[in-house]
Structure 1
Amino acid sequence: MLIRNIKLPLFCFVLIFLLGCQSDDEIVEKPAELFKIDSKINLDQKWSKKVFSDISLGKQEIVVDSDGIFSFSSNGLVNSFSHLGKSNWETDLKINLSAGIGKSFGSLFVTTLDGEVYSLNSDNGNLEWSSTVNGEILSVPSSNGDIVAVQTTNGKVTALNLRDGNFRWEYVSVLPSLSLRGTSTPVFDNSDLYVGFANGNLAKIEPRSGVVQWEVPVTISKGASEIERLIDVDSRPFISSGIAFAVSYQGDISAINVRSGGVIWRENISSTNNILESNRNVFLVDENSEVKAFSGLTGISLWRSKDYRKRDLTAPVKLGNYLVVGDFEGYLHFLNIENGKTEGRFRAGRSQIIELKVFENTLASLDNSGRLTYLEVN
């Protein structure tokens, strides 16, 4: 867990306190051991290749769609591959990149810690424009075809013109004195923009003007210490059927009415993973790597799997009737979406999986060694 906005004396005090609380008898929970299964999933590995050597400091995401697979490296390389694994193009921006990739309306977006945003043509990798915002960027930019929305670690959301990168507007949230080092990716839905903040709030913003329609707490800070009061919304909000779903660290998952900003339901959970919604049900991996399913309408718990506790699971993705999660040993686990039972397993590599993307009947897996593996379900 990376923490920012912390004074040095406070940091020293916290460190001494934490070290003083440790003892030789303290039990550290080990990752759950894998159990044997009779896999019902027939997977075909189409190809696998290294796409970066050093992981970025921010969100390292890939894009998989009908145009191909897009990835980036922290040393400035941006790549496009066909679904057969052949290179379409490669662009070297010759600068250290911090987060990406976002893709919208034929453009790709990558960022730097110095607040630089780069837009590339997704067909050929040519640079369309670059722009600089005030603050370091650790999350992926998003676009609705008119603006590109970027959140920086200083609590600002900046809108840039999609066509040329010119400044449009800026919104500043109130930052707590202590927060996680990371920010939520802005999400567009039905002509509105939704952004989660380090203060535990979710905001709905009118994209053309930057006017805030509402800003409501996903959770309420209850801790006695500054660390216990960390309630960042670092994951991507999910919008479906008039409901915005958001989750905070050390807080809650909340379902919020997008019109009024009223909370429909709220359940205690701590997570920085993205939420998945399917058929009005919500799926989430918490900070202990327990996989949980809720009714999206009522918040009632549908099922809960502790089978992969402490295995550093990725956020879940949906492939057919399965939830797929990756773990710290390079395994992919296929859980029945109805009951959470594991019905398939595949080892994509030997390193921790950090990102999964689904396109039709294919699954792309990216691990922290930079290996991208492309699988097809038969």
Structure 2
Amino acid sequence: MLLATLAGCSLWNSGSSKPLPADLGANVAVLGVRQAWTARIGNVGTLPLDVHVAGNVVTLASADGVVAAVDARTGGDLWRATLAEPLSAGVGSDGKSAAVVLRSNALVLLESGKERWRQPLAAQVFTPPLVAGGRVFVLSADRSVAAYDGATGRKLWNQQRPGEALVLRQAGVLLAVGDTLVVGFSGRMVGLNPDNGSVRWEAPLGSSRGTNDVERLVELVGRTSRVADSICARAFQAAVGCVNVARGSTTWTQPASGAEGVHGDGDAIFGSESNGAVVAWRRSDGSRLWTTDRLKHRKLTAPLLLGRSVVVGDDTGLVHLLSRADGSPLNRVTTDGSGIAAAPVVAADTLVVVTRNGGIYGFRPD
């Protein structure tokens, strides 16, 4: 199956002139934040990177094949592996094992920094693998999902779905919820039996539209927000919505024009739109709580809800902390200026961000 790929936002930023970002004004630090430590991983570039958190451990990777587990309390390495081959997706981890996909279409499992096994894959992969329940699950760009035995690398099953010829070159939806594997297939959230790949339920969040491959493209993108049986996600440039995974049904959807995932809690979810607006929706029914244009025309990451703050990174390397109540600025901190490469995470009471040049930054409250 021959597939074309589309970089997440490049099409939508094309044009003869890019609008100037909104002026941020002076930084007034309503919420005190200090840089606690820095580390390095190597150039991340455009690698679809998911920074994985398990307790105090943050696992991440560089585009050229360095994979590391970092102690979020100190910024020091717990282990580091050099695969010496470029990656197409990373990192998935259960806190013990870490999985990445090479650009040469091979799945690699590491334990404590040592390669345990690798298996060839039939298609490209842009979604970090999921390591859960002693297995490794892979969502490929040909819209197939496969399960591998974590101990041996043996393929256990494969589920293939039809789809359009065009796919996004960015991470999709792949997570475990109880005894169900939840996957994004085009614009639908699908619950699979992790033992054999059979479909348990499907819930639509976005639908194809338009007359050509680009206009018809509809994909669910990571990150997602899960609270109990509710999972909220974004359909690329189409909608934001929530699904009840116990019932396997869509709770609500709202039109939204963004390319990055969402985050939130039981009351609200938050997302960054393609024009730099940050939006809050009520989780129960999708009604809009607030919108701020303070970061307009900045390319933003998916947000992280952290206490009273909604945290987003931008393409200049700034990290913005906005009020969860109304989107007003609480603080902003700087990194190396190369752009934030992945959605921010929190571990060991530390806000961790990674830049495209491979800088790892740990911030803590003052």
CA 372–71 in structure 1, closer or farther in 2 if over 3 Å, else same:
same
- Residue 355 of structure 2 aligns with an amino acid whose one-letter code is D
CA distance in 1, matches of 2:173, 2:128: 5
2-structure distance, mates of 1:75, 1:306 = 36
**Structure 2 partner of 1:119:** 109
Shift of 1:28: 4.3
Q: Is the 8 A contact 1:276 1:282 kept in 2?
A: yes
Distance in 2, Cα, partners of 1:264 & 1:213: 17
Where does 1:1-378 land on structure 2 (aligned, <5 Å)?
5-6=3-4, 28-53=18-43, 55=45, 57-82=46-71, 83-121=73-111, 124-197=112-185, 199-355=186-342, 356-378=344-366
Secondary structure, aligned partner of 2:220: coil
The residue type equivalent to 1:204 in the other structure is G
Q: Determine the C-alpha separation between the residues in 1 that align with 2:194 and 2:306.
A: 32
Structure 1 residue 296, shift from structure 2 partner: 1.0
Structure 2 residue aligned with 1:11: none
* Residue-by-residue CA offset, 1:109-143 (whole Å, 9 max, x unaligned): 1111233111111xx31222222222111111112
- Compute the displacement of 1:237 (Å): 3.7
The Cα shift of 1:205 comes to 0.6
Q: 1:176-225: per-residue Cα shift (whole Å, max 9, x none)?
A: 1333223414111111111112x322211111121111223211223233
**Equivalent pair of 2:221/2:233 in contact (CA under 8 Å):** no
Contact 1:31 1:309 in 2 (8 A): yes
**With structure 1 as the length reference, what TM-score do the two structures score?**
0.87
CA RMSD of aligned residues (A): 2.4
Relative to structure 1, the CA distance from residue 6 to residue 349 in structure 2 (aligned partners, 3 Å threshold; closer, same or farther) is closer
Give the whole-Å Cα distance in 2 for the aligned partners of 1:81 and 1:183.
22
Q: Could you report, residue by residue, the CA deviation over 1:308-362 in whole angstroms, capped at 9, with x for unpaired residues?
A: 0121111111222111111111111111111111111111221111221111421
Q: Which moved more, 1:226-235 or 1:162-171?
A: 226-235
TM-score, normalization by structure 2: 0.90
Contact 1:305 1:340 in 2 (8 A): yes
Q: How far apart are residue 363 of structure 1 and its match?
A: 0.9
Return closer, same or farther for 1:345/1:267 CA change in 2, 3 Å cut-off. same
* Change in CA separation of 1:90 and 1:244 when aligned onto 2, cut-off 3 Å: closer
CA distance in 2 between counterparts of 1:282 and 1:203 reads 21
TM superposition shift of 1:105: 4.7
Stretch moving more, 290-299 or 68-77: 68-77
| Mapped partners of 1:272, 1:237: distance in 2 | 13
Gap regions ≥5 residues in structure 2: 6-10
Describe the shift of the 1:195–1:41 C-alpha distance in structure 2 as closer, same or farther (beyond 3 A).
same
Q: Which has the larger radius of gyration?
A: 1
Give the Cα–Cα distance (whole angstroms) in 2 for the partners of residues 372 and 264 of structure 1: 37
Ranked by relative contact order (alpha carbons within 8 Å, sequence separation 6 or more), the top structure is 2
Gaps of 5+ in 1: 8-14
Matched residue, 1:10: none
Q: Is the 8 A contact 2:92 2:128 kept in 1?
A: yes
How big is the shift at 1:41?
Answer: 2.2
- 1:58–1:215 CA distance, 2 compared to 1 (3 A): farther
Check the 8 A contact 1:195/1:237 in 2, yes or no.
Answer: no
Q: Deviations over 1:148-176 (max 9, x none)?
A: 11111111111111222211111112111
How far 1:239 moved relative to its partner? 3.0
Greater CA deviation, 75-84 or 132-141? 75-84
